[in-house]
Amino acid sequence: MLRSLLAILTVLTSSGFLVSCGTDNSTAPVVTPAVVLDTNTYGFPWKAGVTFGALVDSRDNQVYRTVTIGKQTWMAQNLNFKADSSRCYLDSARNCPIYGRFYQWAAAMNLAATANHSSWNGSLPTQGVCPSGWHLPSSPEWDTLVAHVGGASYGGTKLKSTLGWPTGDNGTDSIGFRVLPAGCLAGSFKWVGQFALYWSATETGSDYAVRNYFGDYPEFLKTNDAKVSSFSVRCVKN
């Protein structure tokens, strides 16, 4: 009986039916997983019928949806790269993947903090805190985006997400840009669920730069704001 079992084991082993748990020195193909777009939308739906691309940030392997609008390609989500001094709403890690992070202007531009109180006067475009191949959009680049949806008068309505804003103030998200009411950090955390504020790369003096914002109204608006305030960032492809 023992001889019969040994014979069977010998046949199975030589035929490759028994697989050892030891080290396999054979060369196996390396399988690269496909990029998986975020499907956990945290209650904020993605616009149906829009063709989204994907951006993998090589610095931390985070994946972002992207959308092509006219001749521009934008991130369809707020940047969530952990740069020095950047913070998430209420300093809560659970808010980072939902709303992204807030950046002072110098951090958004990837400059020393002294740039918050001095004129940079550099040339644009500049990568700033954005992934390689992308850059922090200038104020005119934001204008180009808004012109594509018919102008500033209804740019807010057409770019805001379809849920999450105050009753009656949700957007149509007509092109998949999906602006969420992330709030900001300006002295304190504020305005989540009410406003979305974004830095541009365009400075207007030693202490100020142009920020773009959306609120409980149909317009897309912009103003000068203190560089030390912390706002959201969207990146545009080079």
Q: What is the pLDDT of residue 221?
A: 97
Q: What is the pLDDT of residue 142?
A: 98
Residue 159 to residue 139: CA distance in whole angstroms: 16
Residues of the chain predicted below pLDDT 50: 1-33, 40
At residue 145, the 3 state secondary structure works out as: helix
Sequence ranges of the domains in the chain? 53-237
Helix (H) or strand (E) holding 146: helix 139-148
Return phi, psi of residue 227, to 5°.
-60, -25
At residue 13, the 3 state secondary structure works out as: helix
Note the pLDDT tens digit of each residue in 194-235. 999 999 999 999 999 999 999 999 999 999 999 999 999 999
Q: What is the pLDDT of residue 167?
A: 80
